[in-house]
């Protein structure tokens, strides 16, 4: 979508390597959430962020509200990391999320 | 983590018929949402619901759509009548607090196929 732009749209990684996904917002985002949609279609919560950073295992995410972007770093990529990563921004404390188009990640052995 | 259950996982229906999608949200959550994802496209917000009322709805939430949660049972999305363009995966979500104060938890989705 235009309001939440994700990059890259697709990414292929070798197992064990690192990468970063990015979301740029044209709305005044107050919070950001990152999800992984697995090949079965289920949405898995990864991060809920106010401005700042969070880390969970091999994943680390940052949200800069002033510069209107968020990043998701994947360290030591594993095969099970494959899927579509969505970022979603919430503006003006509405509880309504605007999703990006997703990044399709394929991790290869 | 907290689980949102959606029933059924797949529904096939003839155009013009009514369909009800069911969502069992996280037990202590107070805010409920429906999102729609057409195959290969991004997720789109439909509606949010709190204290028995629709708080906000998008342009995708047509007049044929309605939501309710009678007596704390399932949170439902009803489409009557259905149209071909309603074919999509519908995701239910819930949160304890509204206004972006905490994370949304999503169900696995109901794939609706309108023939």
Residue B63: CB partners within 8 Å, gap ≥ 6?
A: none
Mean pLDDT for the stretch of residues A53-69? 96
**CB contact (8 A) between residue B31 and residue A95:** yes
The domain of A38 spans 4-108
Pair A25, A68: CB distance under 8 Å: yes
- Out of A55-64, A81-90, B35-44, give the one with best mean pLDDT: A55-64
Residue B79 above 60 pLDDT?
A: yes
Of A1, A40, A48, the CB nearest to B42: A1
Q: How confident is the model at residue A78 (pLDDT cuts 50, 70, 90)?
A: very high
Q: How far is residue A74's CA from residue B10's CA, in Å, rounded to a whole number?
A: 32
Give CA angle at B93 (A80, A26), nearest 5°: 80
**For B55-65, how does the pLDDT look when each residue is reduced to its tens digit (9 = 90+)?**
889 999 999 99
Q: Which helix (H) or strand (E) holds A74?
A: strand A69-74
Q: Which helix (H) or strand (E) holds B55?
A: strand B53-57
Place of tokens 């999102």: B35
Q: Which pLDDT value is given to residue B91?
A: 94
**For A3-57, how does the pLDDT look when each residue is reduced to its tens digit (9 = 90+)?**
899 999 999 999 999 999 999 999 888 899 999 987 777 788 899 999 999 999 9
**CB contact (8 A) between residue A41 and residue B95:** no
**CB contact (8 A) between residue B100 and residue A31:** yes
Beta bridge partners of A17: none
CATH classification at residue B79: 2.60.40.10
**CB contact (8 A) between residue A100 and residue B42:** yes
CATH classification at residue A34: 2.60.40.10
Q: How far is residue A21's CA from residue A9's CA, in Å, rounded to a whole number?
A: 9
Token pair of A91 as six digits: 């503006």
Contacts of A40 in chain B (CB under 8 A): 108
Min Cα separation B13/chain A (Å): 21
**B84 burial via Cβ count (<10 Å: 0-12, 13-18, 19+):** exposed
Overall number of domains in chain B = 1
The domain of B106 spans 5-114
Overall number of domains in chain A = 1
């Amino acid at each position: 979508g235009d309001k939440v732009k994700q990059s890259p749209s697709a990414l292929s990684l070798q197992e064990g390597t690192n990468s970063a996904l990015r979301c740029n917002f044209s709305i005044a985002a107050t919070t950001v959430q990152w999800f992984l949609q697995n090949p079965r279609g289920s949405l898995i919560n990864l991060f809920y962020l106010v401005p700042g950073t969070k880390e969970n295992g091999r994943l680390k995410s940052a949200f800069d509200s002033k510069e209107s972007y968020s990043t998701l770093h994947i360290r030591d990529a594993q095969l099970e990391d494959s899927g579509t990563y969505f970022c979603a921004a919430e503006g003006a404390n509405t509880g309504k999320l605007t999703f990006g188009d997703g990044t399709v990640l394929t991790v290869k052995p | 983590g907290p689980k949102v259950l959606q029933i059924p996982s797949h529904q096939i229906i003839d155009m013009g018929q009514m369909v009800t999608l069911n969502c069992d949200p996280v037990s202590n959550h107070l805010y409920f949402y429906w999102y729609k994802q057409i195959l290969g496209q991004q997720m789109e917000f439909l509606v949010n619901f709190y204290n028995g009322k629709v708080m906000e709805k998008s342009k995708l939430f047509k007049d044929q759509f309605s939501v309710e949660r009678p007596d704390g049972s399932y949170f439902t999305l009803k489409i009557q009548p259905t149209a071909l363009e309603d074919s999509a995966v519908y995701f239910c979500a819930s949160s304890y607090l509204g206004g972006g104060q905490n994370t949304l938890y999503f169900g696995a989705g109901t794939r609706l196929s309108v023939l």
